Chains A and B, each alone.
Chain A
Amino acid sequence: MADVYSILVVDDNLLNLKLIEKVLTKEGYNTLLSDNGPDARRIAAQEHPDLILLDIEMPDENGFEVIQKLKNDPATATIPVLFLTGVSEVDVKLKGFELGAVDYIVKPFHPEEVLARVRIHLKLSIATNSLVQEQARKLRQITQAQNALLPRPEDFPNARFSVFYRPLEEAGGDFYDILNISNQITGYFLGDSSGHDIETSYTTASVKALLAQNCTPLYSPCESMKMINDVLVEILPEDKYLTACYMHLNRGTRIMTLVNAGHPPVIYMPKGKNPFFIKVPGDILGMFPDAAFGIKRFSVNEGDRFFLYSDGMVESKEKKISWVAGVQGLLSFFEGVGQINLSHLPSTLISRIFNGYPIPEDDIVLLCIEV
């Protein structure tokens, strides 16, 4: 059997209610009836009809108040509302539209007109819902594709890393990558692209491809980042950029090279010692052709740990805390984590920092690396 569409009819005049009910039921629609605003809102929230026909001139709570409340309630906000009005003034019609109605029917009405308008708006509603479903499906595909781009620790055992990754929306602006440059050399990249939209997910894919092309034994870490920057400057829209941190670890020579592109400072915790920041300010990626990145090269020892993170871990727009201010108290959360197993580190630290679980204000990535 085909879908039965339900229509809520709201009118304080019993005759109008009965008449519309008769017209609609004859055509196979299921009708819900209400002669006042508060009951209509309760029925709408409970039954979620496909459409509402709402009279404007009603005692106590008039149709304008009803539609306003319906649109303010998430449970009923998306239900299309057609208002019934006996007043032909433009102002009344405009007010109905401003409040969120999709159309109006002037009383007295002819049954055929009611049916025609109901049909067209049900069709529009169905089409809109299909579009929303399709967009949601595509966004889910993007999420899956983006997740597939993110390396898992078990796939890179020699890289010795663990990670916490949680995007704010389907298409995250933060991402990371692990690069097996040679048997002894691993690259760790963490980037934060401006925005969280679908365009951002294409940036992610582009940067991943650029990392694979340019982070090779032939180029120094700084050269790799400069070449990636040159391409991004060309391909990114004007208002798009990334902050990023690239760590190049040679486990053979035990030399770590850090390249910073406008990203929050890396935390370094030498084995058995207290953590501290490595601050090497530098320009962001993808904005300036002659960008100057912060670079630091230093010796490391087995068991030393590094922590790369995105600004979502320290920044709060709601609390008006910039990442520069947010990093001030960050080190205290890292004290005493030297003995914690690498695989448990991200969840332990996130739990400490957010006192349970992070509030979704931004994408969050925490990359924990052990030499």
Chain B
Amino acid sequence: MNFRNIESFLSVDTHEAEKLGRLLAGILTSDLEKIRRGIRDNDPESIRFVAHSIKGASGNLGFQSLSQLAAVMETRTRAGQLDGLEDLLLEMQQFLEKLEDSLSGR
């Protein structure tokens, strides 16, 4: 996932896109940790809240795939389900790593 997607989606320059990308990466790192904690503590409501937040923020930057993953997670946890969340979490983690790679020029 390349942070430069933000450039075209929001019509901002590379510098602005990078700043927003770094902000998303920082927030996502913290949010994914909260989701891990929620899975460990069997706390669907706290996961739902974080997933809801990721859904909006990533969608606002044009990262539809991440937004859709978060939407699925939000729907499941709203119903109190914790099954399959690890898979979704893993996909989110992979998204984060790709974003960080693009930010560090790799």
Q: Which 6 A-B pairs have the closest CB atoms?
A: A108-B59, A107-B56, A15-B57, A86-B56, A108-B60, A13-B57
Query: Is B77 an interface position by the 8 A CB rule?
Result: no
Who on chain A is nearest to B62 by CB? A108
Q: Which of A16-24, A152-160, A209-217 contacts B (4 or more CB under 8 A)?
A: A16-24
Interface set, chain B 51-75, CB cutoff 8 A to A: 52-53, 55-61, 67
Q: A12-B53, A15-B27, A22-B12 are in contact. Are A109 and B20 (CB under 8 A)?
A: no
Structural contact, A107 and B55, CB atoms closer than 8 A: yes
Query: Is B91 an interface position by the 8 A CB rule?
Result: no
Query: Is B16 an interface position by the 8 A CB rule?
Result: yes
How many residues does chain A have at the interface if contact means C-beta atoms less than 8 Å apart? Answer: 18
Q: A19-B20, A57-B49, A108-B67 are in contact. Are A13 and B27 (CB under 8 A)?
A: yes
With A and B bound together, what is the CA distance between A125 and B96 in angstroms? Answer: 42
Structural contact, A14 and B27, CB atoms closer than 8 A: yes
Who on chain A is nearest to B57 by CB? A15
Query: Is B10 an interface position by the 8 A CB rule?
Result: yes
With A and B bound together, what is the CA distance between A114 and B12 in angstroms? Answer: 16
Q: Which residues of A does B touch, CB under 8 Å? A: 12-16, 18-19, 22-23, 57, 59, 84, 86-87, 107-109, 111
Structural contact, A22 and B16, CB atoms closer than 8 A: yes
Query: Is B23 an interface position by the 8 A CB rule?
Result: yes
What are 8 contact pairs spanning A and B, CB under 8 A? A13-B27, A13-B57, A15-B23, A15-B27, A19-B60, A86-B52, A107-B60, A109-B59
Q: Which of B23, B27, B55, B56 has the most chain A CB atoms closer than 10 A to its own CB?
A: B56
Q: Which of A57, A59, A109 contacts B60 (CB 8 A)?
A: A109
Distance between A116 CB and nearest chain B CB, rounded to angstroms = 15
Query: Is B24 an interface position by the 8 A CB rule?
Result: yes
Structural contact, A57 and B16, CB atoms closer than 8 A: no
Structural contact, A108 and B23, CB atoms closer than 8 A: no
Q: Which of A19, A22, A23, A109 has the most chain B CB atoms closer than 10 A to its own CB?
A: A19
Structural contact, A107 and B20, CB atoms closer than 8 A: no
Who on chain B is nearest to A111 by CB? B10
Who on chain A is nearest to B46 by CB? A59
Distance between A106 CB and nearest chain B CB, rounded to angstroms = 9
Structural contact, A19 and B53, CB atoms closer than 8 A: no
Who on chain A is nearest to B60 by CB? A108
Distance between A241 CB and nearest chain B CB, rounded to angstroms = 60
Who on chain A is nearest to B78 by CB? A87
Interfacial chain B residues near A13, Cβ < 8 Å: 27, 53, 56-57
Q: A57-B53, A86-B55, A108-B56 are in contact. Are A15 and B12 (CB under 8 A)?
A: no
With A and B bound together, what is the CA distance between A106 and B34 in angstroms? Answer: 24
Q: Which of A13, A22, A84 has the most chain B CB atoms closer than 10 A to its own CB?
A: A13
Q: Which of B12, B60, B67 contacts A16 (CB 8 A)?
A: B60
Distance between A220 CB and nearest chain B CB, rounded to angstroms = 81
With A and B bound together, what is the CA distance between A188 and B25 in angstroms? Answer: 83
Q: Which of A13, A18, A108 has the most chain B CB atoms closer than 10 A to its own CB?
A: A108
With A and B bound together, what is the CA distance between A23 and B61 in angstroms? Answer: 12
New A-B contacts (14) at CB < 8 Å, excluding given A13-B57, A14-B27, A59-B49: A13-B53, A15-B23, A15-B60, A18-B23, A19-B10, A19-B61, A22-B10, A57-B49, A84-B56, A87-B52, A107-B55, A107-B59, A108-B56, A111-B11
With A and B bound together, what is the CA distance between A295 and B101 in angstroms? Answer: 99
Who on chain B is nearest to A114 by CB? B60
